[in-house]
A and B are shown apart, each in its own frame.
Chain A
Amino acid sequence: MTSQRVHFYQIGSFAVGNRLLDQEERTVQAQADRANSIDSGHRACQGCGEALGARYALDAAMRATNGQIVAVNATGCLEVFSTPYPETSWRIPWLHSLFGNAPAVATGVAAALRVKGVKDVRVVAQAGDGGTVDIGFGCLSGMFERNDDVLFICYDNQGYMNTGVQRSAATPPAARTATTEAVGPEPGNTFGQGKDLPRIAMAHNIPYVATATVADLHDLERKVERAMEIRGARYLHILVPCPLGWGSASDETIHVARLAKESGLFPVFEAEGGVIRSVSRIRRPVPVEEYLSLQRRFAHLFGAHPRPDVIARIQSMADENIARYGLFAPESAEESV
């Protein structure tokens, strides 16, 4: 009990900052002089999870490397909304080439730095889920296989959002998109398809693979920091809700991400060398309905013609995650400080 008392700080590490903690224990985002790698004035929608996730991750990488990073960006929302010619929101060195080649470009940047003997500048590549799991997948797998010294970050908003919300291989089952309409006996996206990229990355046996959400900043920053301590190919998969594509309220972005994790639908974990090292346990369990019902892309599962059978299938996916990753805390689990 005594040790718990000493570590009790009102909001502990759930909030962004905490005036009761030492500066070092607060997040990068709590610092008034954080890098703000992606600046104000970008054209992301109200409540954009990706803009938030990108700042969280890159600011943490900036701190971990004393500001020595180069970012390579695939085509996608993040690229489009941050750089309408001739403006840019990036306050870091930033490259964009094509939709599918970001991992290869990042490999090239890393190689060029190596050739020049520059050791302290690190390379981060980033893409949405389309650029990662579909279009850039071949390049990414190659980058993993060669173990190139790149941190690849996927901002997963589960679809091609800036082109009008089409399905990607990261779109969840039953979700309505422009290409998986909510019609017919099996409305929305098909069950049993799609790719689980964090597990595919782990299968490459690369040094570091982790997942995170914009709802747990301390966890996200810690993972970026850990990733920057390691050389070689690293993969970080961040769930970033999309108010536009998901049909969630703009103020619900973080709440929705939190429910994705708390329902078990989005397991948050980290793995080193293909082995899971830690999982973020569920703190306040919720049924998947609570998560789904906040999003209009699942509206056809509720309302006048509800589909409890489909919801039950989604719940069983969550239950499988909970079992696979051990997401329920053992009884005497320590409270996070």
Chain B
Amino acid sequence: MTIPFAITLDVGSSRANHTGSWRVERPVYVDRLPPCNDACPAGENIQGWLYDAEAGNYEAAWHKLVEENPFPAIMGRVCFHPCETACNRVQVDEAVGINAVERFLGDLALEKGWTLPEPGSDTGKRVLVVGAGPAGLSATYHLRRLGHHVRLVDSASRLGGMMHYGIPAYRLPRTVLDAEIARVIAMGVEIQLNHVVHDVEQERRDGKFDAVFLAVGAQIGKRVDIPAGDSSRVIDAVNFLHHVANDDPPLLGRRVVIYGGGDTAFDAARTARRLGATDAVIVYRRNRERMGASGEELEQALGEGVTVRWLSTVNKFDGDHIVLEKMKLNADGFPEPTGQFEELGADSLVLALGQDTDLSLLEHADDVAVRDGSVEVLDSMMASPSGIFAGGDAVPAQRTATVAIGHGKRAAHGIDDFVTGRVAEPKERHELASFERLNTWYYADAPRTERPELERIRRQTNFEEVIGGLSEDNALFEARRCMSCGNCFECDNCLGVCPDNAVIKLGDNMRYQFDYDFCKGCGICVKECPCGAIEMVPERN
């Protein structure tokens, strides 16, 4: 062959030139812990199920959700959603309405009849769960999935614990509650209602249980000494709500004063309004900033005609009048009496001052430590090396259904390790996906979708649900507001922005990999990754 003048080499591809050797740092794909997941007391993989919901794969989303928490429809109504407080989107516009999407998924599952995962194959291990509230039911669910036999006992006549007897129906309709509980029970659970456990050790021996989970809750309303006449109607809020849940509401009269500033106080006040009280007055010794209930709950209560006397304590009740003492906050934020008094007309007084546990069933369980009315537990929720576990309101923690559900899950895994003799391996936690790691340029601007609220006038007289659900359009919109913090959502940015074509797309849902033969380590992919799922690490050698 005649070679033209001055050309002696054949043309070759520049791929022979491995520019990866220039690199001093290399990009690597990482998964970081989204703040919502980090904040969820029930340990839900929120970013994970939103990812499926974003694509309209609601059933896959729901299945991912119930991996951790079998009660999305309940959670979507009563959870205080710390996930939304933690949400990075707060710093862009407003938090993603995670709670509303959760409810949408939960309701859709009930409507479509989606079923929970099958129980695990029988292990022959028997677990006694005392208390059928959120902690007990959650533990039951996870224990059944692990294949253990569960006997669930409760002193009440219905399942649900405080979800049934504490949370009013206008916040959690009983059809929803019962349907989600029924789904867990359908996994095969031995149930014993109206059964009080007096001695847990005795009960355990009689039933030959390998382990016990105590989720007895905090059922006893705290009392304070308030001088009150014999005829005065004083009731504690737990008792009051319990009676209402049993369709046996006590007569409170027209003017009801509720003493306390937590969620239960607001539940009691709003319930009193619905039962016909013209005045439902909450008396709270601190101010608005320091109340235990959420701002949302306060707004809803005020909208229903509940009034609040801040910085006041109940001094005396004579059956017709309550004497209030004005308080002021000292430098540490604690209320102090001022010596100023005023009168308030009242037919009854509801005490919502917190709840105590009844742990008398532990009298013979010598190796269980009880301090300040709470059971001391390890991270695994283990209360005694003999195999007693505890959770929910009976252990020191925030007393909410979501926290209790998280306890139930943790206890189930702790019990599983215990009965199988396994040593629990500490779970690796990813680094937090902080806001600074995001590139928010890429997210479309989109304000949050609010859920419809029931007309106020209707709320004052019935127990219909106050907050509505999202339509599918809105739920999809809301899910798509998720920024997928710290977890690749396949936006193809790294693939596109690499000047050296050194990113290989592995296919749908399989993410990408770097071609280190050619990656020069410029770091554009890291900078332009919307969700912060790539980081630069120093090159060794």
Binding site for B on A (CB under 8 A): 2, 5-6, 8-12, 14-20, 26-27, 29-30, 32, 36, 38-44, 46-49, 51-52, 55, 82, 84-89, 217, 243, 249-255, 258, 284, 335-337
A36 with B501, Cβ < 8 A, contacts A10-B443, A19-B508 known: yes
C-alpha spacing A250/B500, complex, angstroms: 13
Contact assessment for A52 and B480 in the assembled complex, using a CB-CB cutoff below 8 Å: no
Binding site for A on B (CB under 8 A): 9-19, 22, 54-55, 441-446, 473-474, 477, 480-482, 489-493, 495-502, 505, 507-508, 515, 517-518, 520-524, 526-528, 530
C-alpha spacing A187/B443, complex, angstroms: 39
Q: Chain B: which residue is nearest A9 at the CB level?
A: B480
Please name all residues of chain A whose beta carbon is closer than 8 Å to the beta carbon of B507 when the two chains form the complex.
32
Contact assessment for A8 and B477 in the assembled complex, using a CB-CB cutoff below 8 Å: yes
Contact assessment for A15 and B442 in the assembled complex, using a CB-CB cutoff below 8 Å: yes
Contact assessment for A5 and B520 in the assembled complex, using a CB-CB cutoff below 8 Å: no
Q: Chain A: which residue is nearest B501 at the CB level?
A: A40
Please name all residues of chain A whose beta carbon is closer than 8 Å to the beta carbon of B501 when the two chains form the complex.
36, 38-40, 55
Contact assessment for B54 and A40 in the assembled complex, using a CB-CB cutoff below 8 Å: no
Contact assessment for A251 and B515 in the assembled complex, using a CB-CB cutoff below 8 Å: no
- What is the count of residue pairs linking A and B with beta-carbon distances less than 8 angstroms? 166
Please name all residues of chain A whose beta carbon is closer than 8 Å to the beta carbon of B15 when the two chains form the complex.
39-41
Contact assessment for B446 and A8 in the assembled complex, using a CB-CB cutoff below 8 Å: yes
Contact assessment for A16 and B496 in the assembled complex, using a CB-CB cutoff below 8 Å: yes
A17 with B499, Cβ < 8 A, contacts A10-B443, A46-B521, A86-B11 known: no
Q: Chain A: which residue is nearest B483 at the CB level?
A: A10
C-alpha spacing A21/B410, complex, angstroms: 39
Contact assessment for A41 and B19 in the assembled complex, using a CB-CB cutoff below 8 Å: yes
Please name all residues of chain A whose beta carbon is closer than 8 Å to the beta carbon of B17 when the two chains form the complex.
41-43, 87
Among A16, A48, A52, A252, contact of B495 (Cβ-Cβ < 8 Å): A16
Among A14, A19, A47, A337, contact of B522 (Cβ-Cβ < 8 Å): A47
C-alpha spacing A82/B11, complex, angstroms: 13
Contact assessment for A87 and B14 in the assembled complex, using a CB-CB cutoff below 8 Å: yes
What are 15 inter-chain pairs, A to B, with CB distance below 8 A? A11-B530, A16-B496, A17-B490, A17-B491, A19-B508, A40-B14, A41-B14, A47-B520, A49-B499, A86-B10, A87-B12, A87-B17, A88-B13, A243-B522, A335-B444
Report whether over half of chain A's contact residues are helix, strand or loop; otherwise say mixed.
loop
Among B473, B474, B493, B526, contact of A251 (Cβ-Cβ < 8 Å): B526
Please name all residues of chain A whose beta carbon is closer than 8 Å to the beta carbon of B55 when the two chains form the complex.
19-20
Please name all residues of chain A whose beta carbon is closer than 8 Å to the beta carbon of B530 when the two chains form the complex.
11, 15
How many Å from the CB of A280 to the closest CB on chain B?
14
Q: Chain A: which residue is nearest B506 at the CB level?
A: A32
Please name all residues of chain A whose beta carbon is closer than 8 Å to the beta carbon of B527 when the two chains form the complex.
251-252, 254-255
Please name all residues of chain A whose beta carbon is closer than 8 Å to the beta carbon of B441 when the two chains form the complex.
14, 258, 284
Contact assessment for B491 and A15 in the assembled complex, using a CB-CB cutoff below 8 Å: yes
A46 with B520, Cβ < 8 A, contacts A51-B500, A82-B14 known: yes
Q: A15-B496, A40-B518 are in contact. List 8 more A-B contacts (CB 8 A).
A: A8-B477, A17-B496, A27-B496, A38-B501, A41-B13, A41-B17, A47-B524, A86-B12
C-alpha spacing A14/B520, complex, angstroms: 25
C-alpha spacing A217/B507, complex, angstroms: 21
Give the 3 A-B CB pairs with smallest separation, nearest first.
A17-B492, A16-B496, A251-B523
Please name all residues of chain B whose beta carbon is closer than 8 Å to the beta carbon of A36 when the two chains form the complex.
501
Please name all residues of chain B whose beta carbon is closer than 8 Å to the beta carbon of A335 when the two chains form the complex.
444-446
C-alpha spacing A51/B496, complex, angstroms: 12
A217 with B496, Cβ < 8 A, contacts A11-B530, A14-B443, A40-B515 known: yes
